[in-house]
Amino acid sequence: MSAQISIGSLPDTHSENFNSLAATGTSNTWTNGSTLSGWYARNAVNASNYTTYRAGDGSSPTTGMYSFGTAAGDRALGSLNQNASGDIAYGILFENNSGVTAQSVTIAFTAEQWRRVETNTKGFQRVTLSYQIGNSIDVTNTGLLSGSWTDIVEGFLIGGDSTTLAASEELNGNDAANRWAISVTLPISLPAGDQFFLRFYDDNVGDIDVAMAVDDFSITFSAATATRITATSDYGISTILDAGIIDDIPNDDDGIAYTEVTEADMTTLTNLFTDFYAGNYTDAATTAAGYTYELTQITANGSTYYLLRQGQGSTHYWGTYVRNTTASQDCLAIQAPHPKEDFRTGKQAVAVFDLTQASEFMVAGISRCTSGDGVQCSGSTTVCNGGPSGENFRTSDVAHNDSSAFHIASECLRSANTSLYFIQLHGFTQEMTDPEFIFSNGTENTPTTDYLVSLDTVFANTLPSLTVDLVHIDGATKLKGTTNTFGRVLNSYPNDICLSGTAPTTPSGRFLHLEQYKEFREYAENYDDLATIINTAIDCSMALPLRWLSFSSQSGPKEAIALTWTTSYEHEVSHFVVETSLDRQHFTPIGQVPSTNHPLGSTYQFEVATPIFGLHYYRLKAVDFDGSIWYSQVLPTNTTEAQPRLYPNPAKDRVRIEGHHEMEEVMLTSLQGATWTLPLEQGEVDLTGIPAGMYVISVGVERQLLRVE
């Protein structure tokens, strides 16, 4: 018979400070459900309950459940796990007796580290936070150590580091350097009468005897709905991503199957990533849930991030995508398409993203060699077969597959923010005659803005013993990045980005393909150097010709729509082009506004005289005096008005209009104001001779946007 805590009227909060635990002794009595009300603890080796617990301060390496602290009356509950001691699970059980469904839960606690290991070759030690909902949860050893659990990535207790010590040592978990406040709000569905178990799972990881503990625990159940996961953590974003994401990316020999993206998926993923990079996070979270992906808002060390990641039970392995909305280097995107085969580039990319304070981060979700199927894209590789002759890139190689989720996300991000410079981190096996680094812009030519030259210069000043070859200047003959599908997109490749064997020739300067020798990627101290070099070479405050501050729409007189936008900085900007779209992918210009080019920015307005009813989109294209272009965010606008039912839309030769057989003609108006009066015969309109573009079609008083192809 389990002893659970009853959830009363919602919202209902329960707290535990663990100060009733013993401060001394190595065999203190532990009784599940009663030593701490509702708390349970199990051990895998004994396959039984814990019946005792130890009191300690981190000085002992003995495995077990612990009351950690340095004084009586200030304790924390934790565990120490090493060698063959087996996994340890502990946590708290609730039963919902409120009479209504709890739809969200907020969990808050302080994670404390009380011991660290002498030589850590395994990486981070994690105590995983997870939960289970059920009618009668199994709190036996079998139930707590196995079964179906949902991990809370944002709630890990994370210990261990790469520091090499002469011997393992105790830490004071009460010191600020060794404790981290964590808070997570989750959307759940906990029906009246069901149970909820929150579990802390200390996974046995060989020689790591890191001791972690929980203090100042509280949990609140609420009937209010949470649209997505939100979290606050004192851990930095690199620690969260490294321990929670990178360490869990499967290797090619883990028996994991890569799920290929279908044509239908491509459409859905385009909508998902368009919403994500436009800041429409609620819509993005809804779409992501269809793939068992989760969207989390995390505040870590004062910065706000949006994390789109694979959820529990997902079998897609399509990568992780992170946005830093408070980035100081807001023109940088860091990408790791080969986090496994390009040794440690996943961990390196995480560190560089954090240390540079870049705006965007992407990492592939699986090994490039996982899939046995090849793509038809140009180029070949010997990485996966290990042979002297190359084979086709595999479908799981996201840098060479234009239908991968990683590629689709990259294209959507490029469309959402054309001010970004994409830094892709790669690795190669250095031969005797090779330099340490080979940098490429995806072509063999020089762009107008060449940040690779800046990187080369800073490398030479910072790490003079290492050699950098630039493909477009030094003539490197391999690892040119010319078959990288997204690199081809950034370089406005005129041919098929997948199939064409012709190398791109027109560099945009926005694709920075960095190949690195193994030793540089292997050691974490080099990550600091790389981040410093990048920030020295690329200063986003100087790189951008303008900064967007706001963009909004409002209905104006005579049904017109007023668009208003504000910039906070402008330099060498010629004018703004106003564009509209029905599908967020195909945009048509409808007007132009000259720039004031004021260094402190300006506020602008544009009136859309011909209204478009229903859901449609606007964006702004800032045009520099040298012809460079920079896009604003995409602004969705939904104007309610009766609309005709059209299909197909887009249309080519004919369009059918439902429910208006009494009408004899319709009016077609281009977004530039030209009009055509066309006959409506048996519900159809002949579009022969109408130029391709976007039009407002008027049927009586009803209007709708029509795209003619």
At 20-46, the pLDDT tens digits run 999 999 999 999 999 999 999 988 665
Residue 643: what pLDDT?
A: 54
Q: Where is 558: in which H helix or E strand? A: none
Tell me what pLDDT residue 148 has: 86
What is the predicted pLDDT for the residue at 261? Answer: 94
Which residues, including other chains, have CB under 8 Å from residue 401's CB and lie 6 or more apart? 375, 377, 393, 395, 407, 485, 498
| pLDDT mean over 245-273 | 90
DSSP letter assigned to residue 301: T
What is the predicted pLDDT for the residue at 159?
Answer: 62
- Over residues 97-126, the mean pLDDT reads 82
Element (H, E) at 283: helix 281-289
Least confident of 154-163, 456-465, 652-661, 700-709: 154-163
pLDDT of residue 177: 87
Task: Give the mean model confidence (pLDDT) for residues 352-374.
Answer: 93
Instruction: Provide mean pLDDT across the span 469-492.
Output: 92
**Percent of residues, the chain, with pLDDT higher than 70:** 89
Mean pLDDT computed over 466-472: 94
According to the model, what pLDDT value does residue 297 have?
Answer: 94
Question: Does residue 154 have a pLDDT over 90?
Answer: no
Mean pLDDT, residues 202-217 taken together: 80
Candidate ranges 511-525, 589-603, 626-640; pick with highest mean pLDDT: 511-525
Q: Strand, helix or coil at 37? A: coil
Q: In the predicted model, is pLDDT for residue 539 greater than 70?
A: yes
304-347: per-residue pLDDT in tens?
A: 999 999 987 888 999 999 999 999 999 999 999 999 899 999 99
pLDDT confidence tier of residue 63, bands split at 50, 70 and 90: confident
C-alpha distances in Å from residue 688, one per residue of 664, 670, 707, 708: 18, 15, 14, 10
Angle at 239 between CA 233 and CA 244, to 5 degrees: 90
* DSSP codes, 133-161: EESS---SHHHHHSS--EE-GGG-EEE--
Identify the H or E element spanning 92.
strand 88-96
The answer, yes or no, to whether residue 183 has pLDDT greater than 80, is: yes
Please state which of the ranges 29-38, 133-142, 637-646 shows the lowest mean pLDDT: 637-646
Residue type, position 151, single letter? D
Angle at 588 between CA 582 and CA 594, to 5 degrees: 130
pTM of the model: 0.74
Q: Tell me, what's the pLDDT at 81?
A: 80
Q: What is the residue-averaged pLDDT of the chain?
A: 87
Q: Is the pLDDT of residue 590 over 70?
A: yes
* Nearest C-alpha neighbor of 423 from the set 517, 344, 359: 359
Give 371's pLDDT tier (boundaries 50, 70, 90).
confident
- pLDDT at position 162 over 50: no
Name the nearest CA neighbour of 520 among 656, 348, 372.
Answer: 348
3-state secondary structure 421-489: EEEEEEEECCCCCCCCEEEECCCCCCCCCCHHHHHHHHHHHHCCCCCEEEHHHHCCCCCCCCCCHHHHH
The predicted pLDDT at position 247 comes to 84
pLDDT score recorded for residue 205: 64
Per-residue pLDDT, 561: 82
Considering only residues 139 and 642, tell me which one the structure prediction assigns the higher pLDDT: 139
For residue 557, the model assigns a pLDDT of: 47
∠ at Cα 241 (103, 534), nearest 5°? 135
Most confident of the following: 192-201, 232-241, 682-691? 192-201
In this structure, are strands 5-7 and 88-96 parallel, antiparallel, or unpaired?
parallel
Confidence of residue 120 (pLDDT cuts 50, 70, 90): very low
Cβ neighbors of 175 (< 8 A, separation 6 or more) are none
Q: Looking at the predicted structure, is the pLDDT value of residue 131 above 90?
A: yes
- pLDDT above 90 as % of the chain: 51
Candidates 57, 59, 10, 50; CA nearest to 27 is 50
End-to-end CA separation in angstroms for the chain: 69
Query: Phi then psi for 59, rounded to 5 degrees?
Result: -80, -20
Separation of alpha carbons 162 and 116, rounded Å: 10
CA–CA dist 360, 421 (Å, integer): 10
Tell me the pLDDT band of 543, cut-offs 50, 70 and 90.
low
Question: In sequence order, which residues have a C-beta less than 8 Å from that of residue 662 and are 6 or more positions away?
Answer: none
- How distant, in Å, are the alpha carbons of 119, 343, 652 from that of 523? 14, 11, 58
Cα Rg of the chain (Å, integer): 29
Per-residue pLDDT at 97? 97
Per-residue tokens: 417: 């923010």
Instruction: Say what the pLDDT of residue 325 is.
Output: 94
Q: Could you give phi then psi for residue 656, rounded to 5 degrees?
A: -100, 140
Q: According to the model, what pLDDT value does residue 660 have?
A: 55
Helix (H, G, I), strand (E, B) or coil at 296: strand
